[in-house]
Amino acid sequence: MQPKANKALIVEGGAMRGIFAAGVLDSFIQQQHYAFDLILAVSAGATNSVGYLSRRQGRSRKIITRLATTRRFFNPRRFALGGHLTDVHWLWHESRKLLPLHLDCLTKGPQLVAVVTDVLSGGARYMSVTPDNLDQVMLATCALPIAFKEMPQIDHQPFTDGGMADSIPVQEAYRRGARDLTVVLSHPLGYRMKPSRLPWLTQHLFRDHPELAQTLLDRANHYNAALDFIAHPPADCQLRVIAPPQDFAVGRLTMDKAKLDAGYLMGLGAGRDYLAMEQRLAKSA
């Protein structure tokens, strides 16, 4: 008997780099492609996935290019004065108000699981997203340490950005029984994360949370281990990757709307190419 979660979609985060996944998932919406049992997503990948499940084509693109490029979200001066660099609380709730979601999407179709990082243990937690916990989990998975001054709480326990502990949860998808994996990355193929150049600073900034500090110091190793899994999946696992092209010019905090629009179109094209390949494989099977 095949595992229940045989087909999984894994969506990486990456703040503004999420514009690529926004394009990929919009191409899926266009062709009504929801052939997954499980979606595992992180940070901006999780918010993109909510828009995808809600069948709101263009929603994530508008959030990133119109709301996330404003000073209300990204404000270095506010940060210098002790406030948020990126106000993800405002961004999430403003997008809920201006671009409403169909919350019944979370009880029908693929199961959405968002990754968050447990501040106290430093470990990854995988939270099933429901209409009841949607706001809490989305805020937690996107709350980049330092850039967002708060540590969101779920059931009175503090959490932070899921990408700190598990940026690309391919191994978790496999552990859950998925053997047919589609992975949407935020970096071009060939990227490898480099270790922190200032480990002492990380330890200082998170001296009250040493387990989280260690997770941040180990992050490059965990990230690159996920890339190794993708490059060399187990023999019983079929894995396909949708990644930005080498000329993808969007960084974590890119505010240039022309670059963001170009990144979106790259995602849209990559998603269409993926679906065309899926159709060819289905016909030849």
What are the backbone angles phi and psi of residue 58, rounded to the nearest 5°?
Answer: 85, -10
Give the closest residue to 261 by CA, choosing from 31, 41, 19, 8: 19
Q: What does the DSSP 8-state code read for residue 162? A: G
* Two structure tokens written together for 82: 């002790």
Q: Active site includes 186?
A: no
**Active-site position among 161, 166, 167, 180:** 161
**Active-site position among 43, 54, 167, 186:** 43
Kindly list the distances between the CA atom of residue 137 and the CA atoms of 14, 155, 226, 276, in Å, as whole numbers in the listed order.
Answer: 17, 11, 23, 33
Q: Active site includes 43?
A: yes
* Residues 126 and 115: beta-carbon distance below 8 Å: yes
DSSP character string of 180-238 = EEEEE-SS-TT--PPPPS-HHHHHHHTTT-HHHHHHHHTHHHHHHHHHHHHHS--TT-E
* Residues 64 and 58: beta-carbon distance below 8 Å: no
Distance between CA atoms of 173 and 211, rounded to whole angstroms?
24
Distance between CA atoms of 259 and 261, rounded to whole angstroms?
5
* Two structure tokens written together for 246: 């080498």
Give the closest residue to 257 by CA, choosing from 45, 25, 62: 62
Catalytic residues: 43, 161
